[in-house]
Amino acid sequence: MIGLSHALLIVARIAQANPGVDIDIGATGGLLGSAVVAFLTTLAVGVVLVAVVPEYTERMMADVLEDPLGSFVYGIGSLLALALVIFLLVITIIGILVAFPLGLLAYLVWAVGAAIAYLAIAERLVGREDSWLKPLVVGAAINGVLAVTGVGAILSVCIGAAGFGAVLRDYLG
């Protein structure tokens, strides 16, 4: 029977020999990947919004800027209610058939709302003149940069919730 120190020595030697298994414990790839996804999602959804429904986009941007706290509270409340409903549907097993499409719809509305909120912030920062290009890129960059940091991710959720709330409040109310 081998002792614990001997077993640890064997494991250390195997690890040094590089048996072809590459285990990356760093968080850099995950954070960078989520930042790229956040940037590209905001950019893509924003491009579709300004190309297909520019009047709606401008109206929702104005709504987010006019009442950011109200939009945020409505968005967070709606998000929590949706999470509870989806959870209850999933535990009934048969409700999974409804929970999955409801979750997908909520995600899509979240993406639209977040893009609108980031566009509103970017337009406030850099203006728009006659082109949407600058606010689209700046809004997407803000979301990407916020996704890289832990504190920024919390702020990113708050901004997304404000946009989500504005979109839901317009649709439901």
CB 45 within 8 A of CB 131: no
Amino acid (one-letter) located at 87: F
Q: What DSSP designation does 36 have?
A: H
Q: What DSSP designation does 51 have?
A: H
Task: Give the Cα separation of 124 and 17 in Å (integer).
Answer: 56
pLDDT in single tens digits along all 173 residues of the chain: 455 444 444 444 444 444 444 444 454 567 788 889 999 999 999 999 999 999 999 999 999 999 999 999 999 999 999 999 999 999 998 899 999 999 999 999 999 999 999 999 999 999 988 899 999 999 999 999 998 886 788 899 999 999 999 999 999 97
pLDDT at 12: 44
Q: Which residue carries 């072809």 as its tokens?
A: 20
Q: Which residue carries 């980031």 as its tokens?
A: 118
Token reading at 157:
């959720």
Task: Give the Cα separation of 10 and 109 in Å (integer).
Answer: 53
Task: Give the Cα separation of 119 and 131 in Å (integer).
Answer: 12
Nearest Cα residue to 17 out of 6, 27, 9: 9
CB 117 within 8 A of CB 160: yes
